[in-house]
A and B are shown apart, each in its own frame.
Chain A
Amino acid sequence: MYLSILIFLPLASGLLAAALPARLARWLVLGAAVVVLGYAIAFLADFDSGRAGLQHVTDRSWISELGIRYQLGVDGLNLFLILLTAIAWVPATLWAAFTEGRRPRLFFFHLALAETAVLGAFCAQDLALFVVFFDLMLVPFYFLIGGFGSGDRVRATTKFVIYTLAGSLLMLAGAVALGVLATPEGGQISFSLAQLAQRSLPTGSQEWIVLLFAAAFFVKAPLFPLHGWVPETYRATPLPVLALLSGVLSKVGVYGFLRIVLPTMPQGAQHWQELFIVIAVVSILYGSVLAFSQDNARLVVAYSSIAQLGFITLGIFALDPKGAQGAVMQMLSHGLVVVPLFLIIGALATRAGGSESLSELGGMAYRAPVLAALFLIVAFATLAMPGSPNFVGEILILFGAFEHKLVYGLVASAGVVLAAVYVIRLFQRTMHNRPGPAVASRELARLELAAIAPVVAVVVALGVYPQLVLRRSEPATTAKLKPANPEVSVIR
């Protein structure tokens, strides 16, 4: 089994689609997304859950002059994020296949390229390769938002790209600095993460390099002071693309903390632990409060994402195995919840004459029990009701925080309460209440059901059996945490 096939299959399908007649392009890319999902499930089935190390490793020299290797691998940390990517792309592509009419070859080429870039970023085990894929993600999203969005799309997409690329170019400088400065006297430069983890960088260098990485990851997530691109971009982005942007792309940043920052710059992470936790907690509160006051349904979810990403960051920087485990769990479950949530918003908008404003929605549940039921499940999962995977994630994160940073943990718990407030508000305003002016309550069409229901089923299944994730991710997560918190005992 080769990760390269997994990564580059979507791109190949996208290139082929660009050469095919326009009406075939969408089905080819959709087919490839399904195949990728199947292949990702095969990786899950084949996964040896007892090992902390990498599996299915591909390791070849790419640019030997710069010490960059083409190094891929799966472990408990990225296995489920790869799976999340593969899962999320199927409903998003399906949804787009039926709703996107303009320039389909261009659209689906970029959608496929985006999947390749995201999968590449999750699989990369070489820092420079990670940076390549991390930056490459921006290109398709730039086109998808700018070319196919609505409203002030060009402005929005430019803002999005400049924000994100400002972060990731700083990370590029940080990555080069990390590679060069960690090279011992007379040694060969290397960007391999395993190598970098063994080479010890002086603490002083770690401290400023961590900040460069944090800039990239915080923008991507997004977290509180660096979220300026969010409102405009979320308004302009086409819905299926937004589901991916919010559900999957946001995870690449926080994943980078666990994959890169903690193992290679543990002292730097410790040094800024307090700051990062404060940022996380502020994001939780700020995101929750703003989510409560938004009228646009997309922005409710957007700001709730900021809060959720705050939770994930809190879990990581508690530097506690439970917290990190919770972060991994929460990354997966937040992604799985947000994708159907945005598609449901899309379904609601089609029933309300295209409006996504809460004041013009309402009364949707009247003739649409299935839609209402699915939305309710997703809503409960978002507010981390016991029995949902998000509950498992958040409770583990809070346990981790209580253990080491009690005060912050207590403040963050307020976020759980606030989540209930804004999610229930979202649900009530759309499904109950008096019907809006243009609302016509209709049951989910078959296509909508086909896109939304399977993902919701996965959410439910994970809520019932979270051990599927936790058991597999534990060895890898604790191993990544070990350098930053020596008290952690590595399992096996």
Chain B
Amino acid sequence: MKPFSFLAVLAFAVLLVAGCGAASAPGGPQITVVDPYARAAIPNGAAFMELKNSGSADDALIAAESDVAKAVELHESKMTDDGMMQMKPVEKIVIPAGESAVLQPGGLHVMLIGLQRELKKGDSFTLTLRFEKSPPQTVNVTVRESMGAE
């Protein structure tokens, strides 16, 4: 009886450790795309979202693709020191481990250049996000009329 119970405890401990290992995905980023949306627009549009990294390594959004527009790029709007709003393409959007990258109006966004169709409130389209380390994710982007809490 004694050796059996020792074995049982050992087996349980092994399982526990293995379980923990699987849950924490050692060393990798873990990206969740939160609330992806776009605004009703012509002739160009922008997609916004929160990219949450609950993993233990940094990652970065490096590209996005969609057949809703002729070109899809990562851009950033920025207020310059002299008060001008400037938009520029960015190579990647870093998502630090344990943190979020927020894509929002007046800041980082996925720019949809040359929309193939007018985006109307209530529409949706698919957007594939490519990351430096994590596998690509395809998300459904819903079109909102205006920005605020709707």
A in complex with B: no
